[in-house]
């Protein structure tokens, strides 16, 4: 990564009420009623607070849950997994490493051929950067993600 990503009070203050509820209060947005659950455009998804790269469209799939779902993070070091027993069951919460935003949860019932993980994320925690805008928005190093064979790690 060539850029330093971090959480700032200014970035948090710019969040919409729904983005704040999801990222700062570990909320969950409604299924099938969010920005990216059915987005099929090529690009990457970054943390709405810090801008750190999290997921790529090449690893996105339709899980039938109504939330954007991925098989793996684009930069594993930008994703932190934390035990979550808030609903009386043990799940694994996913947070951004630099923004400390609540993103969603990861489950072990994803496609076996891509590792078996299902990263079920909240659109409100993400900002989508279309492939054609990667250079302009400072994410040009991720263009190669769309040229690699699917299922192959970036690094």
Catalytic residues: 120
The strand pair at 79-84 and 69-70 is best described as unpaired
Q: Is the C-alpha dihedral spanning 32, 36, 37, 38 positive or negative?
A: positive
70-109 b/e (C-beta count within 10 Å ≥ 16 → b): bbbbbbeebbeeeebeeeeeebebbbbbbbbbbbbbbbee
CB neighbours (10 Å) of residue 42?
15
Q: In whole angstroms, what separates CA 147 from the centre of its chain? A: 20
């Amino acid at each position: 990564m060539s850029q330093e990503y971090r959480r700032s009070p200014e970035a948090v203050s710019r969040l919409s009420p729904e983005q704040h509820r999801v990222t700062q209060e570990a909320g969950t947005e409604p299924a099938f009623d969010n920005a990216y659950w059915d987005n099929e455009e090529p690009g990457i998804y970054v943390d709405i607070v810090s801008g750190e790269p999290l997921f790529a469209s090449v690893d996105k799939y339709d899980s039938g849950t109504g939330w954007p779902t991925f098989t793996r993070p684009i930069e594993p070091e930008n994703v932190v997994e934390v035990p979550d027993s808030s609903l009386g069951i043990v799940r694994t919460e996913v947070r951004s490493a630099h923004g400390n935003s609540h993103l969603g949860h990861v489950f072990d019932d994803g496609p076996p051929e891509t590792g078996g993980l299902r990263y079920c994320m909240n659109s409100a925690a993400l900002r989508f950067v279309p492939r054609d805008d990667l250079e302009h928005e400072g994410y040009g190093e991720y263009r190669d993600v769309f040229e690699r064979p699917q299922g192959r790690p970036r690094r």
